[in-house]
Structure 1
């Protein structure tokens, strides 16, 4: 689903709202999530999951064409961890893993 499809579905489910209103709502929510992640905060949406920022350390990489070693600088990456309810909806019928198994994975 892309942003425009999300806005269209919200508009269809809420006929009392104009499409521009739904677009503003989606933009406000996504903008606030983005601001929090840029600031280094964790964003948790109960029942859905949590977004966080991870730091990928600097390392030596390889140019795949030449095989030459090249430095890769430190960078930030987005990490998403689905919540328990989301995992259960994605995998209906599967038991939730035991706590000992979760730590190992």
Structure 2
């Protein structure tokens, strides 16, 4: 599902205009970003927990030339799924 599909589903489910549904979806994801920036973590019961993680500086390679280059330390978002989500995903059949 992409953002447009999510907006359509929210609008249909709650009998809202797409403009209002879009505002709601964007606000919810804004809350996630704000809490990650402020608290370093965002938990949504039944879905999982987003946390800010730290990546150490490291040496990488340019894939075209093979030349070594330094990659700076950075922050990233990590996600740990809730047990309910893990259980739901375990029941999904994967196409081969």
TM-score bracket, shorter-length normalisation: 0.7 to 0.9
Q: What is the root-mean-square deviation in Å for CA atoms of aligned residues?
A: 1.2
CA shift, 1:40, in A, is: 4.9
Structure-2 residue corresponding to 1:60: 59
CA shift, 1:21, in A, is: 1.6
Q: Give the TM-score normalised by the residue count of structure 2.
A: 0.86
Structure-2 residue corresponding to 1:12: 12
Partner-residue secondary structure (3-state), 1:39: helix
Q: Give the TM-score normalised by the residue count of structure 1.
A: 0.79
Provide the aligned length of Structure 1 versus Structure 2: 91
Could you list the structure 1 runs, at least 4 aligned residues long, displaced by more than 2 angstroms after superposition. none
Structure-1 residue corresponding to 2:68: 69
Partner-residue secondary structure (3-state), 1:65: coil
| Structure (1 or 2) with the larger CA radius of gyration | 1
